[in-house]
Structure 1
Amino acid sequence: MTLEDDLASAAATGNTAGVEDLLRKGADVNGVNKYGRTPLQVMMMGSTAVARLLLTRGSRPNVADRSTGTTPLHDAAREGFLDTVKILLEFSANPVAVDNSNCQPVDLARERGYGDVVAFLESL
């Protein structure tokens, strides 16, 4: 496994200390794992500490999934993680990005019934 695979795994499990350690060892914050996804794309969406760490280290918040066109903001909104939505927006995530189904993050939050996320995104 590469450092980037390890970094993606640490991010996916919400392991903030592991993410920090791998970044210190030289893992590329925007490097892709063996599945072609960045740590921010696979991070545990409820882990605001991991999100903030990756973003402060230069992770690009608007990288879209190659197969679905979704961004990390789409994922966070779809799963109802308002705090992660706010952090992504703080680091210039595009709130009106559309995925391959022409859906914006607010549309996915609305489909899943996350009213707090919908209200926040609509207030922008």
Structure 2
Amino acid sequence: LIMTLEDDLTTAAATGNAAAVEYLLETGAHVNGLNRFGRTALQVMMMGSLSVAQTLLKHGADPNVRDRSTGATPLHDAVRTGFVDTARLLIEFQADPNLRDNKNLRPIDIAKLGGHEEVFAFLETE
């Protein structure tokens, strides 16, 4: 199996390695490119890693990219895991808080169901 720059980029994002993410983007990795599993770096990034999220978003990562099987966006994922700072950053970079996943759930619905009160309160104001 041939590893691509996008495979390396998603691995760096998933492990929270912001320096490697920056380096790979500067050396030609496509910020919205798909890895061998059909996912972008923003979709697989370590949700608690704001530096990785900032780097990807500043380089033009699509904050509204959807998971092929669930329809979830990175905002859905950040909310599901309770990362309010990541959710805030995604919205700052134009993530749409009204997009619904394949279960017809918006990020705010997921925050409520998951008991993530801080994220829910933030999304209520958006």
Superposed pair shares fold, TM > 0.5: yes
TM-score, normalized by length of structure 1? 0.99
Secondary structure at the counterpart of residue 74 of structure 1: helix
Does the alignment pair 1:113 with 2:109?
no
Provide, for residues 2-58 of structure 1, a one-character-per-residue CA deviation record: whole Å limited to 9, x for no partner. Answer: 000000000001000010111111000000000000000000000011001100000
Tell me the secondary structure at the aligned position of residue 6 of structure 1: helix
Q: What amino acid is the match of 2:67?
A: D
Gaps of 5+ in 2: none
Which residue identity does 2:13 align to in structure 1? A
- Of 39, 42, 45, 2:44 maps to 42
Query: Aligned partners of 1:111 and 1:9: how far apart in 2?
Result: 30
- Structure 2 counterpart of 1:73, from 72, 75, 97: 75
- CA distance in 1: counterparts of 2:20 and 2:59, whole angstroms: 14
TM-score normalised by structure 2 residue count: 0.97
Question: In structure 1, what is the Cα distance between the partners aligned to 2:29 and 2:55?
Answer: 13
* 1:84 aligned partner, one-letter code: T
| Displaced runs of 4 or more, over 2 A | none
Report the number of matched residues. Answer: 124
How far off is 1:112 after superposition? Answer: 1.3
Where does residue 24 of structure 2 map in the other structure? Answer: 22
Q: CA deviation at 1:113?
A: 0.8
RMSD between superposed Cα atoms in Å: 0.5
